[in-house]
Structure 1
Amino acid sequence: MLAGEQGTGKTTIARYLVEKQPTRIRMSTDGIELYNGLSYMDYEENVWLGGKQDFSLEEIIISRSLLKEDETTKSCKIQDKTPINHKQITKTQYSGDMYRSGLQDSPLGRLDFEEKSADGFNYQNEIIVHDNQTGRESTDSSNNRHICETLESGFPGNRHTHIVTKPGLIRRLKTFFGVTKKVGEVKVSITKEKLLKMSSKVGRKKLQSKKIAPIIIWDFGGQDVFYSTHQTFLTYRAIYMIVLDGSRQLDDPCIGDQYLPGKTGQKTARDYLRFWINTIVTYCKGSIQGFPKIMVVLTHKDKNEVDNQRLGLFAEIRELFAPTPLMQHLVIDDQIFVNAKDKHDPEMQKIKDVIISESEKQPTWGESLPKCFIPLELEFASLIRRNTPLITIEHLQTINSAQPIRPLSETELKVFLKFQHSIGKILYFDEHKLDKHVILSPTFLIDAFKSIVTERSFCEGDKNEKSFWKKKKYHTFYKDKDYLLEVMTHLDILVEPKRYNLDHKRIPADFYYIASMVRAIDDTGYLQSARFTQRSIAIAFQSSSLIPPALSFRFLSYCLSVWAVKTYGDNKAMLFHRSGVFTIDPSLDMYIICEDETIIARLVHASKNVLIMRCLASSINECLTSALKKISQLYIRTSSDHEQTSDSSFITKICCNSPDNPCILEHDKDNKLEHWICPSHGIEHKMHTITAWFPEKDEAPCEPACPVTNEEFLKERPTDLHLRRLALLYTINEIRELAIQLGFQVADLENISYTADPVIWKFEVVRKCRDRFSLTFKHIRDASEIGQIQNIHILCKLVKGAPTDFDREPEKWDLVLTEEYIDRLAPLIGDNSLQFLIELEMGFHTWNG
């Protein structure tokens, strides 16, 4: 995967790797260029195979099925979750009923298949008619051409059905498709062009005896407008190459006025190097330290005295990263410095050698996959060749049902899609509204986004009309516009703004915001308005590293999806480059600005900051904190196969009220200060006011006759509502201890399946305890006391709540909420959506949906 500053020669290197000549006229890459099936490596001979070969990518896939069973793999562990990123440089080696590939195993969400079949799956109705439990299989050595000829004979048409009873043919078919179950006969439905004839051709070429792996090359465009899409494709499975212009020093100004997150002034090669390395390492986390690996390659060797420039630049790079953990990711010992336009430059060959060498060190090298995936891989390749970049799940199920030997089960099919997604061959989002389509060619989504950001006639600054794909030249995208728009909205590339009519009902917008395209500068004077420091409070979310652009854009997009953009002057939206102003209510605004390593949020009241309600400010803080966490985790999840906690997570701090370079104060819950004077601006702040972002401690003591001391209360059985509240109050370990004290066995707990949300599992445990043992509150209290599980008075919270004065403005309690007020309610709930659902006495399935 090649990345770096615009104009450094990334595309020239990419074209060299696939044996293509440099373009005659230098043209910047728009978005991402993908080269698939144009380069391979022979990893037995350590040779790079570029350009046109005497075999195709499909034939390499077929060759996996023709290997001899030198080894037998008895189990396979396949991750069953949804990464949104892809492996770029993959090697494959095969043994037995498995072919080996770069599948990253994970302790979470995996499927374990043992003993049932060597291809890792349970088989139901895939092999028709009689099992032969006592019969022996022949060792007939009939070749694949013989199978092809046998099945073709006597069956006209493209698709054939045939009962195979010959032991030798059964053995070869089972080896081909990774089946180990003993059978007496096999019912075969197969397409001769796609599988059997190709296997015969592959057999003649003896590709199965060669160790050849395809290489996928991604060339990332350097234009800043595409930065919001790049994180979607970064992955822990890739080897990265950052390309720098070696004719300049690291601190020389870049050519042209380019945008780079993390740098507000003049940009340099040093800035781009730091940005890309930080971005890759931050969002491509895995279980092994030092991965992914990042090569650094210098170009424009023809413009320098090579030796001195090489030594100087690589020494600076080493000095820049040596004191940091980032150094273990860098591959710079070879100090590659090339003239990318000269394919005979020996250092161009060195790039290939390093990629081959580093590929063998990848943690994902040599992992196993079932051979039964192969037929669908071939179907996908055939569809792409016929210019079908996107299909529906219904179409895929039809294709799957017609597969030879057996189709994949529903579970297997989903695992197959997720793995193909993870290695960059397809895009599949296992999300509501998005799981009904499969993008067979990832560049299709890139091209769709490219059509938006490059078609200036459709764009009005930061807006994009919803009818932008109606033109004839965009008919390819218009056919699937609803799905593509859903994907881009899911990724927050596009955001539909909130608008309301006079009846407070939401109005469908006729345009989308594109946060990555906003270039407007805030010249409204909003931050310099009268008494700004007396009307505002501020909070900072600080990162330990540069904030990647996709995160900034997505965070602003989140704000756009929750709050309406404030307007000024001639109804102009106050949405600017990396900042914006949003309306919370008629008297309160929120100003968001994303800086190099900090995101600052300000609440600005119409008159005085002391009138900002603590419950509102703390709920907004929870919303923003939760959004940042989820966005960060999204990119980590989609760029690796492991759940990770980002070590560059945001730390929340208090800001002074100055709009310019605000002072930062650590938030200390035990701080007894009443006032704080910021050191740089000398502004005096009341601590109670500026800490309104944080809820007050709930330390109200129980009354003498509290519920846990009330015998009448203790006789009652807890309802589902009480148990849901209990699930929120106790940790998983506390629930386990409580259940054991109540009479559950450890085996009982193990039989209750874990869910994605631990609160649901905790509720299921206490609900089963209640139903099995006819529990009362007294049983729960006594078990908590014996097990020393928190203070028993925490149980008072199961029935304790602030009273509601329904006599105050009684006419409002019967009003039906409008959409505008529902939208305004969301930030008030903050990060307590599950608690809110519980108090409405709604089921957990509602929250999951």
Structure 2
Amino acid sequence: MTCFIYQKNQTALHVAENKKVAEILIQNGADVNSKDSRGNTSRHQAVAGADNTNSKTPDDTSRRTLEQSKNKETDTTLPDKVQTKEQKESEFPWIGNPSEFKVILSKGMYESFDNRVFLAGACNCGKSTLASILIGDEIPMTWKSTDGLVVYFGRNGIHLKSGEMVPLKDGSGGHAVLSRILRGQPNVLQTNQSTDNKSKSGVRNFVKKFKNAMRTFKTEAVDKQEIKPVLVPEKTVTSSFTPAPALRKKQIVFPKEECLQDEPSHKPDVSKLNHFTVREDILEEVRNGRYIIEIAPSDLVDFGGQRSYDMTHQLFIQHQGSFIIMFNGRYELKTPLKEYPQGDVTSESLIMHWINSILTYCPEGDDIMPMVLFAATHSDYFTKEEALSRKVYFTREITNLFRKHEQRKHMFLDTVYFINGTSIHDPEIKALTKQLVIFAMQQSTWGQRRPMAWVPLELQIDKMRSKNINIISRNQLEYMNKLNEDLALTEGQVEDFLLNQHRTGKVMYYKQPGLEGFVIIHTPALVNIMRSFVTDEIFWPDDVELKEILQNLDQTGNIYKSKLWKLWKQDTFNQYLPTNELKAFVTKLLIHLDILIQPKGNNSASGDERFLVPCMVKTSPPPNFFLHGTSCSNTIVLAYSLAISSIPSALAFKVIGAASNNLHLKEERGKQCLFHKAAIFMVDDENEVRMCLEDNRVMVNLINRKSLQNLSPDIAASVQECLTKTLESSITFYFNSKGKQINPRDISNKISIEVGVVCNNSVCLLNLNDASKGIEWTCAAENRNHKKKYPMYWFFDQKQKECHPKCAGLDTTELKTVPSNKHLVRLASKFGITLFGEFIIHMGLEAQEYCNIQHQYEANGVHSMMFMALVKWMKDIEAKLKRPSLKLIRDALIAVNLNHHFLCQIFREDTSLNDVSESRLQSLIDDDVMTELPKHIGNCVIHLGIELGLSVEDIEKSMYNYPKDMYSQIASVLHMWKTTSQTPTVFALMKALQHVKSGGLSYLCQRYNVSAQD
């Protein structure tokens, strides 16, 4: 690529570098007849450019680039047909706003050769030892566990000429971005003297402009703030060229007023960035034409092996790179590892875990990346013959393990490298690095073209990272961009730049309300921050108070915001979060990532927010967790199967965490029922949901305390919709975080759904498509017939207000059900007073008794009077030693020509409040609200008491104690409910008032800031 000296009035088409670029510009509306100040059109420029190109002789750098292009077998000719949007995005994946596409192209492009290598595997298997060899550090001879992960920027590279992977010392790799520019411009250095001078002039002109823009910082007053030097631990994630040993640094931080998120300054003070200039020696080499870069950066990521870090690792697994899954070659693959005290962790199980974590969200396509290689360690413990034998054995076992894996193309199964991590001359390590280079040069991003216009901002961010600046505000970034004058990006281009940098893992930027105000420019900083609470016991601090916070988190999975921020006050973490504004931003980000969960029932008397941290919960669910207390008469089952071999731990944590946002965690003996990959949720006093994740399945059951005849189809459908949405959004999040936008329809195709029942202490499931047809099915295991009606409650149409025309009403089993008080009070609401009289007398209630009930309860309203008549009928039946049932009610309805589908409706629930059910509504009802609420409720003490779950006797007691005081009756009923209910929450009370329809609901919405739905 050539650096151009622009003429006045030139358009993007004048400076287009090749036919493909010109074609795209014309497709986007570029004018081919537009003239520059010399009167030349773009066609004149093209002819002149062609003559100039023909006179040039490629140098070594150019030849290398051409050879690499040939090796990739890339067709660089312009296709005959017009490119589709998908083709453009494949060629130029950084395209954002199409209207600005030709503007950003006008400044040229450069080729990027970035690579990344990830080291993963068990604890104490030698990952950090291999990392030391790859970066040229001293090899550690004793094990020290990695806390979180370590990222080595600029410490390893690929020699473009020799094709070798080489370690880099501080300063040997040059500046990363300028390196990419010069590799992308093979014509900068020419043997022809006149061309050479012209190229030098072009580069010098560019660098001069950029240097002047950068030095603008020096003209402003310097008012730096520094915090006291802090010890950066040896295993803290380091920035480019930062050596591994512990050292003391001064941390540059921004003043408090510059980090405001809600109302950030429009012109932040960036005078402290005056030292972020391009290295003078590099600039001088560029001016003199001597600066030739031959090494492509290959960043190295060393993952800690503790299972505590599964969630954090998933955030930093990028698909542009190679993964080396390592294990200790001294042991068999199925041997339990002593580093994991739970006793059920083997090398094989950890290999499977990492394969699932890496490949579950792997984008579809032809790109070989990510590529997984396997390496056993400690070959030095064996003779040469023994080592070769074990190498063959490991290769055979790993191949058999993944031979039929759905992502087989992303695994290199030709061999398992059996390495000696104590020798820099180990031939297996040399063979491994050679294969890594081959894969690096085959990846689709190798040599990918990117806009030259991004370079100034990349340089600034790169330099800031090297000075340990981790998080900056969006306004500060915008201000720095404006200092680049003619090289500055527009606001839309900055947005596209940030989103692309996020997709490639270079920054973290989320265009979400509350998050878009800051950019994490040093991504490993988030891991270092998370190490404060997502960590292993061996890394806990010595401070007694801080240790108690982590111990409580480890035991309960809960942490309060105040305790979390106290952990962040440690010097190790305060360097990243020196202000409360940054702490607030990171807290919101961790909530967005579902690392921190705001659970339902988040009730703290102090107002201190409580968070769940599912990835820190290590307690296993109790034995027979899923089926305990279940039977075919009270439980329905829902199963989601993912199109993968196993669900990664990070996805399991995210699904359970997200479900905790929508369902209330059950508590038993003062402890939440939250376990490792499992949880129990309370829907209401009558229904609970159990969830567990095993293999590639999410298993869910819904248990009614009495029987399935009392289960509302609306509740089942509402729970299903909540869980399906949770699962789909969790999967979508991880796909999107890997830079792959996925269609919602494709997400649905990755999940298969089954419904079923409990059958003889096991689960009998049926595919959803088959379940939707017919009435019964016969299970293969027990050869028993099961009705499909109740399992299909999961997919009941809640919008259907009346019964379907094909509805036959309640079946024989359901008609035997003894009606509950809730059934009777809801049935009463279906009648008019005239028709009800005929009905109740046909039921067997004496006319005189009915008149007495009318007289006694007329002050309580018509529906309450009809309910009490039904209660009297029930008592009369029981007095005759007979069993009341819904069949008797059905028969009476038919006899008086009333709709017997009234009985279908009494099982319905209005679940519209679920859409506004937030954590504050799951808190206990406040005493002052209990005192004020009766004044906002009408005459409904009987109906309200029944909906709240009280007995008729309890309600009559309140009516007897306060015979002519309606408000006191209601207050008494509310008090009894609060003191006897398992879930006396705001939400439960709102649901009861919604059924009663006698006021009070709008008052609660106002008190608890619930907005009305459109």
* Counterpart code for 1:486: K
Are 1:649 and 2:750 an aligned pair?
Answer: yes
CA shift in 2, pair 1:205/1:215, >3 Å: farther
Cα separation, 2, equivalents of 1:567 and 1:272: 32
Pairing of 1:654-673 with structure 2 (within 5 A): 654-657=755-758, 661-668=762-769, 673=774
- Residue pair 1:582, 1:589 contacting (<8 A) in 2 also: yes
Cα separation, 2, equivalents of 1:686 and 1:257: 45
Report which structure shows greater RCO (CA 8 Å, sep ≥6).
Answer: 1
- Residue pair 1:527, 1:659 contacting (<8 A) in 2 also: no
- Residue pair 1:518, 1:577 contacting (<8 A) in 2 also: yes
1:548-595 CA distances to partner (integer Å, 9 max, x unpaired)? 0111100110111112211112x2111112111112122221111111
Cα separation, 1, equivalents of 2:615 and 2:782: 33
Pairing of 1:433-832 with structure 2 (within 5 A): 433-454=514-535, 455=540, 456-459=547-550, 460=552, 461=555, 462-467=557-562, 468-470=564-566, 471-473=569-571, 474-476=573-575, 477=577, 479=579, 480-499=582-601, 508=607, 510-523=609-622, 532-544=631-643, 545-569=645-669, 571-643=670-742, 645=746, 649-657=750-758, 661-668=762-769, 673-676=774-777, 678-680=779-781, 685-695=786-796, 809-812=996-999, 815-816=1002-1003, 818=1005
Corresponding residue SS for 2:373: strand
Are 1:272 and 2:389 an aligned pair?
Answer: no
* More helix as a share of residues: 2
1:810-842 CA distances to partner (integer Å, 9 max, x unpaired)? 42386345399999x9xxxxxxxxxx97xx2xx
Deviation at 1:151, TM superposition (A): 11
Q: Which residue of 2 aligns with 1:26?
A: 143
Are 1:339 and 2:417 an aligned pair?
Answer: no
Pairing of 1:41-440 with structure 2 (within 5 A): 41-52=158-169, 55-58=172-175, 60-65=176-181, 67=182, 93-94=184-185, 139=198, 142=201, 159=218, 194-195=277-278, 197=280, 199-203=282-286, 208-257=291-340, 266-288=344-366, 290-304=368-382, 305-333=386-414, 335-440=416-521
CA shift in 2, pair 1:522/1:40, >3 Å: closer
1:65-119 CA distances to partner (integer Å, 9 max, x unpaired)? 4x4xxxxxxxxxxxxxxxxxxxxxxxx744689xxxxxxxxxxxxxxxxxxxxxx
Cα separation, 2, equivalents of 1:630 and 1:157: 45
Please say which structure displays the higher CA radius of gyration. Answer: 2
For structure 1, list consecutive stretches of 5 or more residues without a partner in the other structure: 68-91, 98-137, 162-188, 260-264, 703-805, 826-835, 841-849
CA shift in 2, pair 1:325/1:193, >3 Å: closer
Deviation at 1:506, TM superposition (A): 11
Cα separation, 1, equivalents of 2:676 and 2:215: 65
Deviation at 1:221, TM superposition (A): 1.3
- Residue pair 2:688, 2:703 contacting (<8 A) in 1 also: yes
* Counterpart code for 2:642: S
Deviation at 1:200, TM superposition (A): 2.5
Deviation at 1:492, TM superposition (A): 0.6
CA shift in 2, pair 1:205/1:540, >3 Å: farther
Deviation at 1:50, TM superposition (A): 1.0
CA shift in 2, pair 1:423/1:548, >3 Å: same
CA shift in 2, pair 1:95/1:25, >3 Å: same
Deviation at 1:53, TM superposition (A): 5.8
Corresponding residue SS for 2:439: helix
- Residue pair 1:144, 1:200 contacting (<8 A) in 2 also: no
CA shift in 2, pair 1:580/1:191, >3 Å: closer
Corresponding residue SS for 2:793: coil
1:38 to 155, 166, 173: 155
* Counterpart code for 1:464: I
CA shift in 2, pair 1:491/1:807, >3 Å: closer
Deviation at 1:514, TM superposition (A): 0.6
CA shift in 2, pair 1:387/1:201, >3 Å: same
Cα separation, 2, equivalents of 1:292 and 1:442: 20
1:35-73 CA distances to partner (integer Å, 9 max, x unpaired)? 101112221221333131654442x422444x4xxxxxx
1:631-672 CA distances to partner (integer Å, 9 max, x unpaired)? 112112222334363598221112322595423222335655
Cα separation, 2, equivalents of 1:680 and 1:150: 77
Deviation at 1:332, TM superposition (A): 3.6
Cα separation, 2, equivalents of 1:700 and 1:150: 74
Deviation at 1:217, TM superposition (A): 1.0
CA shift in 2, pair 1:674/1:228, >3 Å: same
Q: Which residue of 1 aligns with 2:900?
A: none
- Residue pair 1:148, 1:197 contacting (<8 A) in 2 also: no
- Residue pair 1:290, 1:329 contacting (<8 A) in 2 also: yes
- Residue pair 1:20, 1:51 contacting (<8 A) in 2 also: no
- Residue pair 2:369, 2:410 contacting (<8 A) in 1 also: yes
- Residue pair 1:540, 1:652 contacting (<8 A) in 2 also: yes
Report % sequence identity: 24
CA shift in 2, pair 1:354/1:404, >3 Å: farther
- Residue pair 2:755, 2:771 contacting (<8 A) in 1 also: no
Cα separation, 1, equivalents of 2:215 and 2:324: 52
Deviation at 1:354, TM superposition (A): 1.4
- Residue pair 2:504, 2:739 contacting (<8 A) in 1 also: no
Deviation at 1:609, TM superposition (A): 2.0
Cα separation, 1, equivalents of 2:630 and 2:400: 47
Cα separation, 2, equivalents of 1:425 and 1:35: 13
CA shift in 2, pair 1:204/1:407, >3 Å: closer
Corresponding residue SS for 1:691: helix
Cα separation, 2, equivalents of 1:321 and 1:675: 39
Cα separation, 2, equivalents of 1:249 and 1:526: 32
- Residue pair 1:152, 1:192 contacting (<8 A) in 2 also: no
TM-score (norm 1): 0.66
Deviation at 1:436, TM superposition (A): 0.9
Deviation at 1:278, TM superposition (A): 3.0
- Residue pair 2:419, 2:426 contacting (<8 A) in 1 also: yes
CA shift in 2, pair 1:547/1:152, >3 Å: closer
* Counterpart code for 2:599: P
Deviation at 1:34, TM superposition (A): 0.5
Corresponding residue SS for 1:283: coil
- Residue pair 1:63, 1:208 contacting (<8 A) in 2 also: no
1:573-621 CA distances to partner (integer Å, 9 max, x unpaired)? 1111211111212222111111122111111222112222112211221
Question: What is the total number of aligned residue pairs between the two structures?
Answer: 621
Corresponding residue SS for 1:313: helix
* Counterpart code for 2:375: V
Alpha-carbon RMSD across the aligned residues, in angstroms, is 3.8
Cα separation, 2, equivalents of 1:212 and 1:648: 43
- Residue pair 1:284, 1:640 contacting (<8 A) in 2 also: no
Corresponding residue SS for 1:451: coil
* Counterpart code for 1:211: E
Corresponding residue SS for 1:368: strand
Corresponding residue SS for 2:534: helix
